[in-house]
Chains A and B, each alone.
Chain A
Amino acid sequence: MTSATKTLTSLLVLTLLLALGLTLAPTFASADVLADVQSLFEQQKEEDDPFLLIHAYYVKAGKQAQDSGNLTSALEFFRIASTIDRRDRDSMKSARDLLRDLTTQAAALYDEGVTLQEKGDADTARKKFLEALRLNPNNTKPLAYLKDKMLVQPEESYVIQEGDTLRRISEKIYGNPGGELLLTRINKLSIADRLKPGESLLVPVVPPALAKRLALVEFEPEPMDMAKPDKQEVAMAHMKDQPSLPMAQKQDISQSEATGVEALLAMANIQFGNGLYETAVSMTDEILSTQPGNTKAADIRNESYYRMAKGLWDKGSASQSMRMLRRLPSDYKDSATLRSTVQAKLNEDSEPLYLAGVRYFLNEDLENAVEQWELALEMNPFHPKARTDLEKARKLLEAVKGL
């Protein structure tokens, strides 16, 4: 390098170091910067590697940040310094020490957060968890607290008792045996699977209103002895513990804002016209939930159910057809007639199975009786007697096993 170039370069470096001093004014004392400039000039040699200049800055910035207590910045700067110069043992050591200190601090903050959380001071706990994550993002334990424990737990665990069936568990937890299918889905079981006492099941939290029994519809089984006060208390106590989602109310507002009733009704009409009755029903149900008197929506809804019921009956699916018919007002068109026809067919199909169950029952073969009645119910979920008899037989089985 010629001396002219060198002078020029030095001048530029001086200017820029001054600029650096100015921009870093809040953290770099001016005396330090001048000393820095001086020493750089003394040290600069022709073969200097420009990377080393940067290296020097980062070492300095690291020390400065460390002195002012900004440990995360200090760690970042020392890491850069030691990246540039692998022989810079001091920066490496500083980075290592800082990392250790930050890890310790974050762990302590996490512990404080957990204690605060247990004491019920969720707000302060949250700050501790956030700060712990900021200081040491590698320790993600606080994340679990921030994400799940402070919000919603969609499931609980239930330990299977002697004599439990999925229907009975559903009865205990929800006050309604109809959650059987839900339990099979969530736990990846089939209805036929045997439950092993002592093992755990995942039990989704269901808002009580959703699990309410239907107001005695004619095919719904009698509530039997499940309605005993003690059982109900179990269910109620469980429900009281449930956090209800805070946004449930708010969403009713935003949904009507987001999707106008008129737009929904227009869409429902299109779906109905295209023969997509299920979609039409979803939309009209949504309208009717906010405007129960909307007759246009009610007309589309009823006609959709009626057509689905007829279609399913024509395809030979009596139980599916019955599900649709049950949604219709009894005086809708000729649905009452269709309903008795479908019911007769269901009874006809399931009666032999039901009677076989009765024969087993009379012969005191409870296990086979239960099996036959389960089959009968599978064939005809609306069988008037199979369900009550099945529950009785299960109770008896339980009692026998208890002896």
Chain B
Amino acid sequence: MTNALRTSIMLALCLTLAAVLPGCGGGGKKRVSMTHTSRTFAVVKARETDSLRTLANRYLEDPEKSWIIAAYNNITEVAPGQIVLVPVLPINLGGITADGYQTVPVLAYNAFSESNTDAITTQRADFRAQMQYLKDNGYSPISLENFYNFLEFSEQAPAKAVVITIDDMGQNTFTVAFPILKEFGYPATVFVTTDLVTGAGSALSWDQIREMQAAGITIGHRTKTLRNLTRRNADESFEDFVISIDRELTVANLTFRTELGNDPLFFAYPYGATNELVMSLLKKNGFRGALTLERGVNPFFTHNYLVKRSPVAGDISLGDYGKLFSFFTKEALQ
């Protein structure tokens, strides 16, 4: 369906109802039903206490899905008495239109610092400015889980969805990035290399990781020792190589299970490097998805184990940061 058409109908509808409803409320007369629901839609007159979240909770069984109602009705909040359309079934899976399809950018951050910047380190003020940039431009950070719902064609994603990921390099993830993410209310994923979590010096500790997880940060897997899983060393036998990369997955999983009580569902390839063998092992270990460091954005038909991520350089300008985002690929389908 063309979005312009849908939007224009919703706009006209809002104006109409704003006028009609007070008129109808003027005299005492037949009570009208406040909601009409079917398998596909709910058409609802909002109650005094309703918000987008309460409506999403009632009709979509998840308050986090309030963006679906907002987007469909082209509104940012709901007024009492307003008539709202709720698409009960996903209306635009995969974000496909006749002119092309939706793409989702995934950002990969490395290290953070209070006030130093280099190729891989983002300083506090810059990170805040970047999060503000997302907000000012109406971008919607979504969790990795919701991103994979989009990839698996089971849920739609906001039109300007982005995913924030951090390949952890130390405690600054907790002291610099985490508070800013909380402040903006943005979901994010931190990929953890278990041997690096020592709690000593500048390293993260499991207490900090647990605190982030409790606050809604997704914790992902980035091996035990950060070994490149696609490179066999010259003096390493094939058998030793297989043992080593298997351990990178399974031993780290044991640690995650002990420390967090669960196996991570998502994996970040060290140095972004992967091949078929690594993907087989991930599949066998039950991972739902894995992320590379190949630049680019992701349509829904991206392979679950080959998700592209754009590394965010520590010294990137806000102008170049903006170029990392592209939400739609034009392609005439007929």
A positions within 8 Å CB-CB of B = 1-2, 5-6, 8-9, 12-13, 15-17, 19-20, 23-24, 26-27, 46-51, 53-54, 57-58, 61, 65, 70, 72-73, 76, 79-80, 82-86, 127, 130-131, 133-134, 137, 140, 143, 146-148, 151-155, 174, 176, 178-182, 185-186, 188, 202, 204-207, 209-214, 217, 220, 242, 245, 247-248, 250-252, 254-255, 257-260, 263, 267, 270-271, 274, 276, 278-279, 281-283, 285-286, 289, 323, 326-327, 381
Contact = CB atoms under 8 A, between A and B. Distances in A.
Given A65-B5, A267-B169, A279 B195 contact: yes
A149 to B, nearest CB: 11
Closest 9 CB pairs of A and B: A178-B239, A255-B271, A9-B23, A178-B238, A204-B280, A282-B227, A12-B19, A20-B12, A205-B276
Contacts of B101: 130
A69 B237 CA distance: 62
Contacts of B5: 24, 26-27, 61, 65, 70, 73
Contact of B333 (A134, A202, A285): A134
Interface in B3-28: 5-6, 8-9, 11-13, 15-17, 19-21, 23-24, 26-27
A17 B16 contact: yes
A251 B273 contact: yes
A216 B316 CA distance: 48
B6 A210 contact: no
A24 B9 contact: yes
9 contacts: A9-B24, A51-B83, A73-B2, A155-B283, A255-B272, A263-B120, A270-B201, A278-B225, A286-B271
B214 interface: no
A50 B240 contact: no
A247 to B, nearest CB: 5
Contact of B15 (A2, A19, A202): A19
Contacts of A179: 238-239, 242
Best-surrounded residue of B101, B110, B198, B277 (most CB of chain A within 10 A)? B277
Contact of B27 (A2, A185, A259, A283): A2
A9 B20 contact: yes
Given A13-B19, A137-B93, A207-B276, 5 more contacts: A53-B20, A79-B40, A137-B90, A181-B243, A286-B227
Best-surrounded residue of A86, A252, A381 (most CB of chain B within 10 A)? A252
B237 to A, nearest CB: 5
Contacts of B235: 214, 217, 326-327
Interface of B: 1-2, 5-6, 8-9, 11-13, 15-17, 19-21, 23-24, 26-27, 29-30, 32-33, 36-38, 40-43, 83, 85, 90-91, 93-94, 96-98, 101, 108, 110-111, 118-120, 153, 167, 169, 193, 195-196, 198, 200-201, 203, 223-228, 230-233, 235-243, 246, 270-277, 279-281, 283-284, 292-295, 301-306, 311, 313, 331-334
Contacts of A285: 227-228, 231, 233
A223 to B, nearest CB: 13
A279 B37 contact: no
A192 to B, nearest CB: 17
B23 A8 contact: yes
A276 B6 CA distance: 59
A214 B235 CA distance: 7
Nearest to A275: B198
A178 B237 contact: yes
Contact of B23 (A1, A151, A258, A381): A1
Given A23-B8, A185-B246, A267-B169, A210 B40 contact: no
B295 A254 contact: yes
B306 A152 contact: yes
Given A83-B42, A251-B272, A279-B195, A185 B303 contact: no
Contact of A133 (B36, B83, B96): B96
A24 B182 CA distance: 42
Contacts of A8: 23
A148 B279 CA distance: 13
A148 B303 contact: yes
A182 B24 contact: no
B272 A254 contact: yes
Contacts of B153: 133, 137, 140, 143
Nearest to A174: B238
Nearest to A301: B233
A258 B110 contact: yes
Nearest to A137: B93
A12 B227 contact: no
A366 to B, nearest CB: 25
A51 B294 contact: no
Contact of B29 (A9, A46, A143): A46
B280 A154 contact: yes
Contacts of B198: 274, 276
Nearest to A209: B232
A127 B20 contact: no
Contacts of B38: 79, 82-83, 86
Given A65-B5, A70-B2, A133-B96, A247 B294 contact: yes
A259 B283 CA distance: 26
A5 B277 CA distance: 74
Contacts of A48: 24
A1 B1 contact: no
Contacts of B23: 1, 5-6, 8-9, 12
